[in-house]
Amino acid sequence: MTAIPWTGRQVLQQWDGNTYTTAPSAPARVTATSASGRSVTLAWQASTDGQGSGVVGYYLWRRDRWGQSWLPDRHRR
């Protein structure tokens, strides 16, 4: 795990044996497509990966109900 200090997040790093030299773009157009009660559905345009950055999925994080800590949420591939 690698911490990203200014966000309080951590990144799980796995190596597939390839060397990637291009960083992926950030996902774009993040929107909440529906929300109700304790649930929200998110949609976004995937990052572009023209040079082969190796992105295979995203991990979503959410704040706890007090807004104090970041918690891992569901993984989307």
Residue 40 belongs to some domain of the structure: no
**pLDDT for 52:** 63
Residue 68 belongs to some domain of the structure: yes
Dump pLDDT digits (tens) for 62-71: 888 888 888 8
Residue % of the chain over a pLDDT of 90: 0
Residue 67 belongs to some domain of the structure: yes
For residue 63, the one-letter residue type is R
Range of the domain at 75: 1-13+63-77
42 Cβ neighbours under 8 A, 6+ residues apart: 30, 31, 32, 33, 60
Residue 30 belongs to some domain of the structure: no
Residue 54 belongs to some domain of the structure: no
Domains: count for the chain: 1
Residue 77 belongs to some domain of the structure: yes
Residue 69 belongs to some domain of the structure: yes
Answer whether residue 45 shows pLDDT above 50: yes
Residue % of the chain over a pLDDT of 70: 62
The per-residue b/e assignment along 28-52, b for 16 or more CB within 10 angstroms, e otherwise, is eeeeeeeeeeeeeeeeeeeeeeeee
Answer whether residue 15 shows pLDDT above 70: no
| 40 touches 32 (CB < 8 A) | yes
**pLDDT for 57:** 74
CA distance 76 to 69: 21
Residue 74 belongs to some domain of the structure: yes
